[in-house]
A and B are shown apart, each in its own frame.
Chain A
């Protein structure tokens, strides 16, 4: 790695840390903008009890002190108790949800990558044939459909009409439809990305040189063309994970998957503010880190890319 790359990585790291700090600060002040404060309950609490509660959670201190305390707590992953699920800590709820969500997300991301790259390469190699057209039409359609619509339609078709898969996503078989819903958009996007970059690479001089040297067709496709055409796909890695995280909010809601996305949506419906803030911070940090990794990877893989 040359010094320029290292300088770039350091710059991005600082930006990422700064972004996470902005997220935490935003959530803190948004939380304080909520009328009634986060520890308001439906039942009327006596002023003495209210004061005791506020003292217990440090709400009687000045805002600046509270902010510093909150910042420290978040770094130690202390996100406070849930307001609506009595006796449960936000971090435990997130931890439980994360196990299911991670499974869902990793499978969806892997499938989207694998199928997308294959379809995209096929479309590029069979350019302007019926196969290419069909792939492009289908992927264009999927890019235009919001995930909640894809998910609901799949639910109607395969769970309610034909009973192929269960509608409830808490079992292994029930994860099939959520995974499909989640992966269709990134898969379509990767297909289009791979196709265009593959076409670009196939027109390059070094492919012609390889052909002239008598390299076999498959070696050209896999070693010379595919490897280079995957570079733009790496840039999509970060946005894809961001999509999967936000997509899972809706998908888990539709299929009743007990993941972090469902916890998040439920917390919005129940107005469980500490849980809303906690999940936002955890997921936002995850997305920021993944974007950072994907950007750095992109620059490291292709040294030709200008670092600015």
Chain B
């Protein structure tokens, strides 16, 4: 057939169906595995050295705080000088790092091996290293659970407000505005100082007694005051997302509000939520240590990093390391979490990074 001949539309040009040459095939080679949003974010995060180092620091500290107490020969609440049936041995109190009490020295002289007190002991003869480890565990746990509480309340409240819109939204957001403008720290102190009085009696005999009234009141305070930031954030996201076509499509197909929120809206703002949760943890740890420092944190003898620092103030001139050690740990945790949170934000939400 002559090439220049005008073809009818139904006529097929066979040259279009020739096998592809090698040159053609090269165009189709995948240069890189196609990537999902999550994988792409992780790749970007891995490239961020500061964030990765922070991540490893957090992981190491967390694992250590969980596993070290399991095999450590001393307990955080044991006063080593107080053995049952024996007079109190004051030589256990206020040991400097790697010092031994008189009875321990006698045992070493007899050829026994005694596990060293790496950070010494405190004024009541408790091994300070294990107290710091345990305090780290408490501080991390408080930060983590407080953030979860904030997360859950914030998401539920914010998504309902954003999705409902109209009058419901206005009323719900006015409530948020008021709580937001309350001076948080002062209200926290006020609530904490009063709540530990009322809660101690209410908790007696229950499972929660072991956790202690102060930590419970701390959680209640977070549930009362700190969710507003998250609620605002989620609402803002939902407001812009609910105008999307796929939401309309879902509604047309008969989906109810809760379905749309759960299946379409929340998954689409999950990265923003995760990032701000990651940044919420250090602020919760900050608040806990601050309250512990004022004597409103964990109940004795349970240590937290803040209460350890606060206790250290009494013997500051003789034992400054007792303050410096928890101070370093707390700063390290907060700094790493902040830097990791920043890294997460840069990796998963480049829009926010302005």
Contact = CB atoms under 8 A, between A and B. Distances in A.
B290 A146 contact: yes
Nearest to A265: B294
Given A140-B335, A156-B316, A249-B189, A19 B323 contact: no
B73 interface: no
A207 interface: no
Contacts of B187: 23, 26, 280, 284
Given A153-B327, A284-B183, A269 B178 contact: no
B97 interface: no
Contacts of A26: 187, 190
A101 interface: no
Interface stretch (B102-110, B127-135, B194-202): B194-202
Majority SS at the chain A contact face:
helix
B295 A268 contact: yes
A15 B214 CA distance: 32
A210 interface: no
Given A242-B185, A246-B185, A148 B331 contact: no
A16 B181 contact: yes
A160 B181 contact: no
Given A254-B313, A291-B181, A152 B190 contact: no
A250 B145 CA distance: 25
What class of interface size applies to chain A in its complex with B?
A: 35 or more
7 contacts: A19-B181, A34-B194, A141-B335, A153-B324, A155-B316, A249-B189, A253-B294
Contacts of B191: 30
Contacts of A31: 194
Interface string B282-296: 100010011001111
B317 interface: yes
> Which of B183, B295, B324 has the largest number of chain A CB atoms within 10 A?
B183
Nearest to B179: A22
A142 B181 CA distance: 26
B198 A35 contact: yes
Given A16-B181, A153-B327, A144 B186 contact: no
B320 interface: yes
Contacts of A280: 186-187, 189-190
Contacts of A246: 183, 185-186
B290 A160 contact: no
Given A15-B178, A34-B198, A268-B189, A249 B294 contact: yes
B194 A152 contact: no
B45 interface: no
What class of interface size applies to chain B in its complex with A?
A: 35 or more
Contacts of A19: 178, 181-182
B40 interface: no
B279 interface: no
B177 interface: yes
Contact of A35 (B186, B201, B310): B201
A169 to B, nearest CB: 14
B309 interface: yes
Majority SS at the chain B contact face:
helix
A212 interface: no
Interface of A: 15-16, 18-19, 22-23, 26-27, 30-31, 33-35, 140-141, 143-146, 148-149, 152-153, 155-156, 160-161, 242, 245-246, 249-250, 253-254, 264-265, 268-269, 271, 273, 276-277, 280, 283-284, 287-288, 291
A280 B339 CA distance: 33
B193 interface: yes
B194 A33 contact: yes
Contact of A148 (B177, B182, B185, B290): B290
A128 to B, nearest CB: 16
A257 B143 CA distance: 31
Given A34-B197, A146-B289, A242-B185, 14 more contacts: A19-B181, A30-B191, A35-B201, A144-B334, A145-B331, A146-B306, A146-B330, A149-B309, A156-B323, A156-B324, A160-B320, A268-B295, A271-B197, A276-B190
Contacts of B178: 15, 18-19, 22
B338 interface: yes
Contacts of A33: 194, 198
A18 B176 CA distance: 13
Contacts of B193: 268, 271, 276
A35 B197 contact: yes
Nearest to B318: A160
Nearest to A149: B327
Nearest to B320: A156
A37 B318 CA distance: 42
Nearest to A16: B181
Contacts of A254: 313
B182 A284 contact: yes
B296 A268 contact: yes
A145 B282 CA distance: 11
A183 B177 CA distance: 28
B177 A288 contact: no
Nearest to A36: B197
> Which of B194, B324, B327 has the largest number of chain A CB atoms within 10 A?
B194
The 9 closest A-B pairs by CB, nearest first: A144-B335, A246-B185, A287-B183, A149-B327, A144-B334, A19-B181, A284-B183, A148-B293, A156-B320
